[in-house]
Amino acid sequence: MLLQDVKLVQIPKWNMKILLSFLLLFISSISFSQTKVTLSGYITDSKDGEAMMDVKVYIPSLKLGAMSNNYGFYSLTVAPGKYQVEFRSVTYGAEIKELDLTKSQVFSIELGSKTTDVNEVVVNLKKTENVTSTKMGQIELQMDQVKTLPAFMGEVDIIKTIQLLPGVSSVSEGGQGFYVRGGGPDQNLVLLDEGVVYNAAHLFGFFSVFNADAVKSVNLIKGGMPANFGGRMSSVLEVNMNEGNMKKLKVTGGIGAISSRLTLEGPLKKDKGSFIVSGRRTYIDILLKAAISDTSPFAGSSYFFYDFNAKLNYKLSAKDRIFLSGYYGKDVFNFSDNQGGFGANMPWGNGIAALRWNHLFSDKLFMNLTTTFSDYMFKFGSQQDEFRFELASGIRDVGAKVDFSYFPNPAHRIKWGADYKYHTFTPTSVTAQNDTTVFDTGAAQKLFSHEAAAYVLDEFDLNDQLRLNVGLRYSAFAHVGPFTRYVKGDGISTQDTTIQYNRGDLIKFYHGLEPRVSLRWLLPDNSSIKAGYAYNYQYVHLTSLSAVSLPTDIWFPTTDIAKPEKGWQGSVGYFRNFFNDKFESSVEVYYKGIKNLIEFKEGALPGDNVSDNTDNLLVFGEGWAYGIEFYFKKSVGRFTGWVGYTWAKTERRFPDINEGNIYPAKYDRRHDLSVVGTYKLNERWTFSASFIYATGNTLTLPSSWYVQEQNLLFNYGARNSTRMSPYHRLDLSATLYSKAYKTKTDPATGKEIEVKKKYRSNWSFSIYNVYNRMNPFFLYVDNDGDFLAGNFKLTVKQVSLFPIIPSATWNFEF
């Protein structure tokens, strides 16, 4: 039974040979007998005690270095001796320490007390990262810069910033869903402190669930996914929350056009543990209440969202630290039509919790153990006179994950680990009642499944030019009972029947190997060539009946009918820095092929999955995407920013859609250009601008009309055969900071001195859509007039959402 789907593992033989060769090479190269010592420890920020990731620990005399991981841990094994060791960070520049490494030692350091030229170090780090690392298609956002970019309605938004990167495009105007290299929104693994975020949007997709005040770092992997990540076809968006200030109590907050937020952080015990709590809430409902009178038929209609982030961390010992993170966010939409006797309530939201334990087994072996809980639910309740109707859907995960990082020598960085999740899916649960009559809506459908994976990867240097990152991931998925399989008849010769599975029954098992390889070949002229290959399986799917992303979109697991999505991505890139490394650039080409993609059958309706299985309504196909991305970035100096351009093509082929013909995906975009710039005029003023241009989205419109029983009906043309006009928009922002220092008389000397203010604030002004471009949100065919009177007319109408929108937000901290 367990081997029934072995045929799914279709890794080419040449692929496996190469992989095994690398594994042998890696085993032989890590075992060497020469005496070595290890320098290891944690790197933290002297300002608030937070762990600092991606700090380079470098010994210039040996030309050897290591990077700190997400928890600030580093390990560097070298020959015994006395060395100057540099600790280089983007935030603080370099700190140099003289260390006697005649024997292994643990050296933890707080950075920020002494600094060198930050710009110079940033250049050095960027050079290292952009040209010398094996990373392809990976971009880390600087939160300081994100906060100064133009913000829609004043809400700083991580996802909207990501949509400005090459290879990433937005679902629609203002939308939170994002497409990476031709993949769907569900093909992005969005993680908040390692907990899966199933719906990263508030307000039907216009705002992100990530409160920028609570976010420490954002890392997007859009290609060459390393083996420690999996479960999605396209990308990983890794969002890490702030840990909380270890040194002092700190309050930050902001008051914006539609919401306000407040964050409190501080030490639980100085330098041992800290906490952070952060909340945000909109006041659209209060504005609506003021706008709708009590006598209005729509009195009682409202909308609001809120979210809450919290995190605790504590150092149990020099080798142990625990983290507890939580997120809870909810949107609530109420609609009342008192005249029509109609009322509706629609709440939806995410809950995420993660408990992590960092343990240091030795100065070379680091472990992170995480238990996670993720929950996404959508509910809808309505009442029309005496008819009551309730619908719910959602997904809940309980899981655990362990990751080991091993640093045997500077040439090897090895990781291995395992991941397990127990999924509970509720695609649709419906109850309906008319007065005292309870309708038969079938039992609430729940689907249960186990998802597990194990991986190993090694990043190692074969020589000065060639660095390889070789990984192998094994993933498995089991759909288990209880479960009711509906087998539909045609109503004439065959009738509907069901197959019942009991708790724990294995309904279907899938598994597969996912090889991941990336390499970097360093060229002499401050440039490098990189290539990557990744094979992925995806066992959970998002199905949508709507042309736009909605909270009603249903997460659905792999079953005996719905097979796992599987596919590969290959990419090759040229990376080069210019002008003494102040500018970095890259050109990447990619190809992605995916099988077992999922869509609803043509004509499926939301109610069709009541007393039926959702997968009975699905059809399956394949897709592919290819493109070329150009990226040019300046990350130092008063003026920073980037230009990204993507040429891409994304197509789909489903036997049961579009008569089996190839059609463009709804997110197929030929051209995508983004230009982002930030200019720091002085300590008080910073200006930013962003401009985007994108080929219009595709959609399906009626190509013909006909009449049946005096009703005009439409027949739709080829799938996604119509393309909307191009999208372009310019946004501007200016941020005015309060003075950082105040003048004070020194009581000892009587002289006036400048002291840093405890309280600081800033005003952030934004203008969205500066030149008031009426960008298309969607098109529809409208009819007007009387058919029989002869004045009937069909026209195509374009709906645009957002005109020019100025906004202001006041932010503070003390």
Structure-token pair, residue 758 = 């405890």
CA distances, 163 to each of 141, 174, 406, 679 (Å):
12, 10, 34, 21
Stretch that binds other proteins, among 114-122, 407-415, 488-496, 561-569 (CB under 8 A): 488-496
Stretch that binds other proteins, among 36-44, 257-265, 305-313, 335-343 (CB under 8 A): 335-343
Q: How far is the CB of 20 from other proteins (least distance, A)?
A: 47
Q: How far is the CB of 290 from other proteins (least distance, A)?
A: 16
705 binds other proteins (CB under 8 A): yes
Q: Give residues 522-551 in contact with other proteins (rule: CB under 8 A).
A: 545-548, 550
Q: Which of 629, 624, 531 is nearest to 589 (CA)?
A: 629
351 binds other proteins (CB under 8 A): no
709 binds other proteins (CB under 8 A): yes
Q: Which of 679, 700, 760, 813 binds other proteins (CB under 8 A)?
A: 700
Q: How far is the CB of 434 from other proteins (least distance, A)?
A: 7
290 binds other proteins (CB under 8 A): no
703 binds other proteins (CB under 8 A): yes
Stretch that binds other proteins, among 427-435, 455-463, 464-472, 739-747 (CB under 8 A): 427-435
Q: How far is the CB of 14 from other proteins (least distance, A)?
A: 42
Residue 439, phi then psi, degrees to nearest 5: -80, 150
DSSP 144: H
Residues in contact with other proteins, shown as a per-residue x/- string from 181 to 220 under the rule CB under 8 A: ----------------------------------------
Task: Please give the angle made by the CA atoms of 764, 770 and 773, to the nearest 5 degrees.
Answer: 145
Q: Which residue, 283 or 778, has its beta carbon nearer to other proteins?
A: 778
Task: Please give the angle made by the CA atoms of 297, 302 and 308, to the nearest 5 degrees.
Answer: 170
Separation CA 551–CA 348 (nearest Å): 7
Separation CA 724–CA 743 (nearest Å): 58
Q: Which residue, 373 or 439, has its beta carbon nearer to other proteins?
A: 439
Q: Which of 689, 725, 765 is nearest to 164 (CA)?
A: 689
Q: Give residues 766-785 in contact with other proteins (rule: CB under 8 A).
A: 774, 776-783
CA distances, 768 to each of 152, 204, 287, 292 (Å):
6, 19, 21, 27
Q: Which residue, 109 or 657, has its beta carbon nearer to other proteins?
A: 657
Cis peptide before 482 (omega within 30 of 0): yes
Separation CA 806–CA 554 (nearest Å): 35
Q: How far is the CB of 489 from other proteins (least distance, A)?
A: 8
Separation CA 428–CA 426 (nearest Å): 5
CA 3 from chain centre, in angstroms, equals 34
Question: What is the β-pairing status of strands 235-241 and 188-192?
Answer: parallel
Any idea which residue has 């901290």 for tokens?
Answer: 813
107 binds other proteins (CB under 8 A): no
132 binds other proteins (CB under 8 A): no
**Over the range 480-499, which residues count as b (16 or more CB within 10 Å of their CB) and which as e?**
bbebbbbeeeeeeeeeeeee
Q: Which residue, 342 or 373, has its beta carbon nearer to other proteins?
A: 342
Q: Which residue, 304 or 327, has its beta carbon nearer to other proteins?
A: 304
Q: How far is the CB of 711 from other proteins (least distance, A)?
A: 6
432 binds other proteins (CB under 8 A): yes
365 binds other proteins (CB under 8 A): no
Structure-token pair, residue 792 = 């009937």
Q: Which residue, 325 or 441, has its beta carbon nearer to other proteins?
A: 441
DSSP states along 236-253: EEEEEE----SSS-EEEE
Q: How far is the CB of 539 from other proteins (least distance, A)?
A: 25
Q: Which residue, 442 or 481, has its beta carbon nearer to other proteins?
A: 442
Q: How far is the CB of 351 from other proteins (least distance, A)?
A: 24
Q: Which of 63, 491, 493, 752 binds other proteins (CB under 8 A)?
A: 491
Separation CA 221–CA 619 (nearest Å): 29
Contacts of 367 (CB under 8 A, 6+ apart): 357, 358, 359, 360, 361, 402, 403, 404, 405
656 binds other proteins (CB under 8 A): no
Q: How far is the CB of 779 from other proteins (least distance, A)?
A: 7
713 binds other proteins (CB under 8 A): yes
Separation CA 94–CA 86 (nearest Å): 6
437 binds other proteins (CB under 8 A): yes
**Over the range 545-566, which residues count as b (16 or more CB within 10 Å of their CB) and which as e?**
beebbebbbbbbbbbbebbbbb
Q: Give residues 565-624 in contact with other proteins (rule: CB under 8 A).
A: 600, 602-607, 610-611
Q: How far is the CB of 730 from other proteins (least distance, A)?
A: 18
Contact 396, 423 (CB under 8 A): yes
Contact 473, 513 (CB under 8 A): yes
499 binds other proteins (CB under 8 A): no
Q: How far is the CB of 607 from other proteins (least distance, A)?
A: 3
Residues in contact with other proteins, shown as a per-residue x/- string from 724 to 753 under the rule CB under 8 A: xx----------------------------
Q: Which residue, 294 or 709, has its beta carbon nearer to other proteins?
A: 709
Q: Which of 661, 665, 645, 642 is nearest to 653 (CA)?
A: 661
102 binds other proteins (CB under 8 A): no
Q: How far is the CB of 714 from other proteins (least distance, A)?
A: 6
800 binds other proteins (CB under 8 A): yes
Q: Which residue, 202 or 566, has its beta carbon nearer to other proteins?
A: 202
718 binds other proteins (CB under 8 A): yes
Written as one letter, the residue type at 187 is Q
Residues in contact with other proteins, shown as a per-residue x/- string from 380 to 399 under the rule CB under 8 A: x-x-x--x-x-x--------
Q: Which of 481, 482, 677, 717 binds other proteins (CB under 8 A)?
A: 717
257 binds other proteins (CB under 8 A): no
142 binds other proteins (CB under 8 A): no
492 binds other proteins (CB under 8 A): yes
Q: Which residue, 32 or 780, has its beta carbon nearer to other proteins?
A: 780
441 binds other proteins (CB under 8 A): yes
CA distances, 486 to each of 139, 558, 610, 613, 618 (Å):
45, 16, 11, 6, 14
715 binds other proteins (CB under 8 A): yes
Stretch that binds other proteins, among 72-80, 104-112, 264-272, 697-705 (CB under 8 A): 697-705
Contacts of 155 (CB under 8 A, 6+ apart): 207, 208, 256, 258, 259, 809
Separation CA 284–CA 505 (nearest Å): 48
Stretch that binds other proteins, among 117-125, 438-446, 465-473, 744-752 (CB under 8 A): 438-446
Structure-token pair, residue 136 = 């392809």
- Total number of residues binding other proteins (CB under 8 A)? 90
